[in-house]
Chain A
Amino acid sequence: MKNDFPNHNTPLPGEERLVHAALEEHARLGSNRNDDALIDRILLETVNKQSVTEVVAARSAAPWKSLLIGVSSAAAVLALGFLLLESFQVRDVETPQKEVHFVVQILEDSPVDANASSPPAPTVAARPNRDRIEPTFAKVDAVVRPISTGNDYFAETQFGKSLSQLPSQAQHHGFLISASKVVQTGRETRFDGDVVITHDTWKIKAAGASVPIAGKVEEVPNVQSPSLTAFDVVVNQLSPRRTVHAKTLNFDAVTGNLILTGVQSISSPEGKMTKFQASDRLTLTKTSYEIESLPMERYASPPLLTPGKN
């Protein structure tokens, strides 16, 4: 929080304002990075909007053509109908119609047996959700290529053709990982002890972490599994400033979000939250966070009690 320093109420002198703004921007994105989110928004409103409008305009021409054809066809059918009707009228005069007889039968009331047992009432009650919420990951038309080289770990996500409307067809996420001990086991690299994971948005301290090994993991379409996991984590985010303590962390390479479970606390400029259920799940994005809790156990209706059976 920069509450008692340069702000709206105490603007800086002119010669410092630009340097102040440049320092804030430099701290946010460094020297050589683009603000991809802003660029995407601008292009969607400008260059890409034009192409969308063209497509819509091309498509919107089709209904007018269809309407014109439809009206012409209807007119032709009506004209044909009139011609046929005239020919039928001529035939009506020549051939008399046959008589048709209807019989209406009224049924008597059938007796009702008052002693007969009624069918059992439905006994299916709402099944409460007793299951623990587990992290779920976006299943989309995408391929994630995990690459780990030494302490660098990259996850490149390439979206498929069905998501071609997205402004960017690829995402790149990079992590720099340091730890006291690094072990390669089968298909993954495991980091143990004083693990520090640095990402563009987050700095994560963890007791342990693991990532897939380069070349060991195939390019998996429709990815559903996390590409980085860690436990006993402290996640720090600079802008907006947040700190999260949690038991487990999973990085979803498709959405680019952190999914945390066993959350102990989250601190943000709005305050600190500490009362979490063990099953709560927190999704941390670059700009926001979302907490998903286990629903309360509620019955849609009380279980049916049948006398003599309970």
Chain B
Amino acid sequence: MPRTSIIDPTDPEELDPKNPEDFTELVKLHHRDLLVYARALSHDSTTAADLVQDAFVVAFDKVKTFDVTRDFATWMRGIIRNKWREWLRKNQKYELTDDLLAQIDADIASWQNQRLNDSNSIFDSLDQGLKRLPDTLRDAVIAFYYEGRNGDEIAEHLDIEPAAVRKRLQRARSILKQFLDQRIDSTNSAEQES
């Protein structure tokens, strides 16, 4: 199947957002990571897409103020955070504690840095993590996230209680998080040794 691959520039850090062509490449390079980040903050896919779009528009408008010695992804996450806070004020949604926000930001930053180091996106790592999940947990994850079933449907499908489905999903997310963190640690270690 023909698929548009995420670009793999030789050195993304050399892309200059002030150059329109480079800006286009940076949009392609970062938009999905930023979508994940915005989803984690807003818990809503449509809002996440709006936040990412608005953030890139702001970045483009203020690109002259961008300090080229800074990391573009970090700058973008900062804009998305501000946009998300605006959205929170308007929509009166739940708030995240500063600690939690800092933790989410640190995690996504690690994942984005890892991609720069070994060219593996967070989604590649997720692919590998999913393969290593125990069957019982993987079945619940596939049914919930990839087949779009709800709790009752999964419970009926797997012949277990809905509470058990919830527990399995929670356990699966926890294992996947550990797996992703380990991969980042191993990548960082390998880079330090080299």
Contacts and interface: CB of A to CB of B under 8 A. Distances in A.
Interface of A: 1-8, 11-12, 14-36, 38-39, 41-43, 45-47, 50, 152, 154, 156, 172, 174-176, 200, 238-239, 241
Interface stretch (B67-75, B171-179, B186-194): B171-179
Contacts of B174: 15-16
18 contacts: A1-B148, A14-B103, A16-B173, A18-B36, A21-B37, A22-B126, A25-B32, A30-B3, A31-B121, A34-B28, A38-B49, A38-B52, A39-B28, A42-B52, A42-B56, A43-B24, A154-B2, A241-B148
A32 B3 contact: yes
A39 B36 contact: no
Contact of B166 (A5, A46, A238): A5
Given A43-B24, A174-B1, 17 more contacts: A2-B151, A5-B150, A14-B103, A14-B104, A17-B104, A18-B40, A23-B173, A25-B123, A28-B45, A31-B124, A34-B4, A35-B49, A38-B31, A38-B35, A47-B20, A172-B2, A200-B1
A20 B169 CA distance: 9
A47 B127 CA distance: 33
Interface string B1-19: 1111110000000000000
A238 B148 contact: yes
A-B pairs with lowest CB-CB distance, top 3: A174-B1, A21-B39, A46-B60
A2 B28 contact: no
Contacts of A15: 103, 174, 177
A24 B169 CA distance: 13
Nearest to B54: A45
B90 interface: no
B113 interface: no
Contact of A31 (B27, B43, B60, B123): B123
A18 B32 CA distance: 13
B1 A152 contact: yes
Given A16-B177, A39-B31, A46-B56, A23 B24 contact: no
Interface residues of B, number: 61
Contacts of B28: 34, 39
A31 to B, nearest CB: 4
Contact of B176 (A6, A14, A23, A36): A23
A54 to B, nearest CB: 12
A38 B108 CA distance: 20
A174 B39 contact: no
A21 B36 contact: yes
B152 A43 contact: no
A26 B123 contact: yes
A16 B103 contact: no
B139 interface: no
A283 B94 CA distance: 38
A42 B31 contact: yes
A139 B53 CA distance: 31
A4 B150 contact: yes
Given A34-B4, A47-B24, A3 B150 contact: yes
B147 interface: yes
Contacts of A43: 24, 27
Contacts of B37: 18, 21
B156 interface: no
Contacts of A24: 39, 45, 145
A17 B40 contact: yes
A8 B87 CA distance: 14
Nearest to A16: B173
